[in-house]
Amino acid sequence: MKKFRSQLFLLLLIAVVQGKAQTNPVMDIFPDGTILHSNIAYNNDTLTKHLLDIYLPAEAKGKIPLVIFIHGGGWMHNDKYADMGYMKKTVAEIISHGYALASIDYRFSTQAVFPAQARDCNRAISYLYDHADKYGIDRERFALMGFSAGGHLASLVGLSENDDIESFYMPGTSNFFSFEAVIDFYGPSNLILFPGNDENSPEALLIGAAPLDRPDLARAASPVTYVDKNDPPFLIIHGENDELVPTKHSHLLNSWLNVAGVQNELIIVKDAPHYGVMFDSDQVRSRVMNFLREHLN
């Protein structure tokens, strides 16, 4: 069973990666006139995984809210263009409704174990906060959106922001930012929920050990650990037939947020697998845009 899950995981990742070039392959998704600031080094170094892109609406006026996009890929694959390919309508609608979108890269688990990924995300967000005036972004209206491993990171960063977890920040990173909303597409919420004890599983490679062998590390890397009453509103979206991240991850996060009294909504997409165009349907996209309007406008 463990071998089957690992093989299936790799096959799905290959399907996501295929056809994606390293130059920006997604500009045709965005409305005409969208302004792109590409490959911004957010950590003042030369690492290719320390880059982000900013997409701004044409003729934007005043300070505009920002949606920060965190890609999936098992914490060890894909890039800042991933997931946009099957979320074309949603991505286009975010821009056309006057929001800025920033998509960030982060170090893979094969390059650095957790919490490197949280540190990179927070560093990128700190850059966006510190340079908000340059890009016409409203630093008081940030939202996070992530997919799969990116959903995990969006949830983790969004929930831990008010806890000041020192290990989640690079030295010198400002953490004055906060989030008005988090959208989590099928992200793992508790690493202990994954079956088996496979040292080569994506979650084991993330923390450097099988979660059942190191529950302390698994707990530190699990978003539900950081739920409290002061967390931002959540929209959680999961496929009914997810073969990689069981729906119980999202049910558990939903339950913990309810216990803490945090506003949240859980949407289970009927018949949907782990990723794909079913998450870009009119119904799901409408819920996403309503959620953003409610909390960013």
Dmax (CA) of the chain = 54
CA distance 155 to 144: 8
Residue pair 104/69 in contact by the 8 Å Cβ criterion: yes
The arithmetic mean of pLDDT across residues 33-60, rounded, is 95
Whether the per-residue pLDDT at 192 is higher than 50: the answer is yes
Whether the per-residue pLDDT at 219 is higher than 70: the answer is yes
Q: Count each helix (H run) and each strand (E run) in the chain, helices first.
A: 9, 8
Torsion, Cα 265 81 26 87, to 10 degrees, reads: -20
Helices (H), the chain: 2-17, 88-96, 116-130, 132-135, 149-160, 202-207, 215-220, 248-260, 282-296
CA distance 203 to 220: 12
Greater confidence (51 vs 196) lies with 51
pLDDT tens, position by position, 117-150: 999 999 999 999 999 999 999 999 999 999 999 9
| Amino acid 37: pLDDT | 97
Residue pair 286/54 in contact by the 8 Å Cβ criterion: no
| Amino acid 24: pLDDT | 87
Of 46-50, 56-60, 182-186, 200-204, the poorest mean pLDDT is in 56-60
Residue pair 65/101 in contact by the 8 Å Cβ criterion: no
Banded model confidence at residue 172, pLDDT cuts 50, 70, 90: confident
| Amino acid 60: pLDDT | 82
Banded model confidence at residue 4, pLDDT cuts 50, 70, 90: very low
The amino acid present at 228, given as its one-letter code, is D
SS3 of 147, please?
A: strand
Residue 255's closest CA among 276, 277, 236?
A: 236
| Amino acid 267: pLDDT | 98
CA distance 138 to 297: 11
Q: How many CB atoms lie within 10 A of CB 102?
A: 25
- Which pTM does this prediction carry? 0.92
| Amino acid 61: pLDDT | 83
Burial 25-39 (b: 16+ CB within 10 A, else e): ebeebbeeebbeeee
Query: pLDDT over 70 for what percent of the chain?
Result: 93
| Amino acid 17: pLDDT | 39
Residue 179's closest CA among 56, 284, 70?
A: 70
SS3 of 203, please?
A: helix
End-to-end CA distance of the chain: give it in Å, rounded: 46
CA distance 295 to 179: 10
Residue pair 264/254 in contact by the 8 Å Cβ criterion: yes
Mean pLDDT over each residue of the chain, to the nearest integer:
93
Banded model confidence at residue 7, pLDDT cuts 50, 70, 90: very low
